[in-house]
Amino acid sequence: LLITHYLQNENRHIKYLQQRLPQPQTQISQQMQRLDQLEQQLQRSWLQNLNLKRQQLAYWSVRLKHPQAKIEANQYKLANLNGRLQHSIKQKLDQVFSQCNALNQRLQLISPLPIIKSQHSNVKQLQKQLHNAMQQLLQQQRSNLNQQMRTLAAVSPLSTLERGYSIATTTDSDRVLRNIDDVELGQHINVRLQQGQLACEVKGISK
């Protein structure tokens, strides 16, 4: 009975251990599942890495194009910009020329040039008239001056001297003597001739 009981206990213990210990087939199955999962993860990672490399390759393929294509593209852009610039400059010049023509027409309408030309002609005419008037006035003044000179020459003491007369004056005040009452006997007087003068003394007085 004891042996039977012992054997029963051992059987139960063996069954318990069998339940606790994993079966090789189960462990292999679990390892296979794990390997499948790792393979799937590896494939996904490899595909992701491959797609990333493809994207990078496409990006650098675009960036590393032959420079001739880029040069041609820039030349096309430059030609386009040059054409637009020339067109804009032409429009601006046409606009400026149009404004200049309009201003020129307005300036001609309000220009003082016709008035200036007319006034210039009037000024020339007035200058000519003024010149003629000045010549006439100068001629008249010359004639008047000659007449006055002849009149002065007729009444001038020099003319009297030229005709052989003399002029007697006092020695102290150079007063002209016109009458015998203006002098006394023994008085010194000056007698002016046409050329030079005489210092005289009154020796006698007669009426």
Residues 132-183 pLDDT 10s: 888 898 899 988 888 888 787 777 666 766 777 788 888 888 888 888 888 8
CA dihedral angle for residue 62, residue 65, residue 68, residue 72, rounded to 10 degrees: 0
> Residue ranges per domain, the chain?
125-155, 161-207
What's the rounded mean pLDDT across residues 76-83? 86
Task: Read off the pTM.
Answer: 0.30
What's the rounded mean pLDDT across residues 102-114? 74
Longest dimension (CA), the chain: 229
- Provide the pLDDT for residue 103: 82
What is the number of residues in the chain?
207
Looking from the CA of 155 toward its CB, the CA atoms found within 13 Å total 5
Name the residue with higher pLDDT: 95 or 63: 95
Where does the chain have alpha helices with state H?
2-20, 24-63, 67-110, 113-155, 157-162
- Provide the pLDDT for residue 15: 66
Name the residue with higher pLDDT: 96 or 157: 96
